[in-house]
Amino acid sequence: MAVGNVFTRGFFKENPVFVLLLGLCPALAVTTGLKNALGMGLAATFVLVCSNLIVSLSRKFIPKEVRIPCFIVIIATFVTIVKMVMAAFLPELKEALGIFLPLIVVNCIILGRAEAFASKNKLLPSVIDGLGMGIGFTLAICIIGIVREILGAWMIFGIPITRGGMAYSMKVFILAPGGFLAMGLLLAYFNYLGAQRARRLALAQKGIHEGKGAPAVDTSNPTVQTINSQNMIGKTGAGPCNLCPGCDKPNF
């Protein structure tokens, strides 16, 4: 497997939060603002990289039967290091993260990567995998953090968006129910984007099979119209049909 692929797959294709649905607790609990989300993401990335490193180095002499407790102890050690460093230099952030700082230990992403990747691979790929997955996690919780902070507090990174005390905020988004709501809507949006891309790819492939080099763009093309009419079955409701890039015709 190419090193570049190991590094980048955690960003979007195998994003731990949005695609694999791992590490949901910190992803919802500390994302009331971008600052906390970033802090949490960086802390988890540090633990992920270090634990992957040690697990990969010791993979040859950890007996298979007790590997999970061994991994957990390795992870817990690094979490303790993060906790102590944060208590010394970033006490505010430590307060904000609360019990979710020690709970990095049971973040499924970290144990999952140790078990699925680092315990089977050499040092360098393991570290790169940890870094990539950590960045993917940070990216995901920062997206949730931005959405919730803008909608819930009308701020970005603790700075108000508009001056003069005007705030267009829905407070529910920084409370507990808003976390679930934002996560559900974001997941639905990413599903929608994925489905749209898959449909476009299928269409492009169909065009190639019928001897047309490029994916069909104009609506006068008979192939597209057949698919369009097939697509109509059982689907009502407005919105672009998404079948052909650049076409805004509604789907009914």
Partner 1 sequence: MEQAVIYLKIIFAAVFVQNFVLSKFLGLCPFIGVSKKRSSAIGMGLAVIFVMTLASAATMLIYQYLLKPFKMEFYLDIVSFIVVIAALVQFVELAMRKLAPALYKALGIYLPLITTNCAVLGVTQLNLEFAKLNGITLTDCLLRSIVNGVFAGVGFTLALVLMAGIRERLESSPVPECMQGVPIAFIAAACMALAFFGFAGIA
Interface positions with partner 1 (CB under 8 A): 21-22, 24-25, 28-29, 68-69, 72-73, 76-77, 79-80, 83-84, 99, 102-103, 105-108, 111, 172, 175-181, 183-185, 187-189, 191-192, 195
Contacts (Cβ under 8 Å, ≥6 apart) of 189: none
Residue 148: closest CA among 109, 179, 127: 179
Q: In the complex with partner 1, which residue's Cβ is closer, 31 or 126?
A: 31
Torsion on CA atoms 175, 179, 185, 190, rounded to nearest 10: 150
Q: In the complex with partner 1, which residue's Cβ is closer, 108 or 142?
A: 108
Rounded Cα distance, 16 and 161, in Å: 30
DSSP 8-class letter at 237: S
Q: In the complex with partner 1, which residue's Cβ is closer, 124 or 195?
A: 195
Assign 100 to helix, strand or coil.
Answer: helix
Q: In the complex with partner 1, which residue's Cβ is closer, 16 or 125?
A: 16
Per-residue H/E/C for 124-167: HHHHHHHHHHHHHHHHHHHHHHHHHHHHHHCEECCEECCCCCCC
Q: Which two tokens stand for residue 123?
A: 């040092």
Q: In the complex with partner 1, which residue's Cβ is closer, 76 or 247?
A: 76
Q: In the complex with partner 1, which residue's Cβ is closer, 75 or 244?
A: 75
CB of 106 to partner 1, least distance (A): 4
CB of 246 to partner 1, least distance (A): 21
CB of 31 to partner 1, least distance (A): 10
CB of 166 to partner 1, least distance (A): 26
CB of 5 to partner 1, least distance (A): 26
DSSP 8-class letter at 240: B
CA dist 168 to 75, 126, 150, 160, 174, Å?
A: 42, 45, 9, 10, 13
Q: In the complex with partner 1, which residue's Cβ is closer, 8 or 169?
A: 169
CB of 251 to partner 1, least distance (A): 12
CB of 183 to partner 1, least distance (A): 5
Rounded Cα distance, 183 and 28, in Å: 8
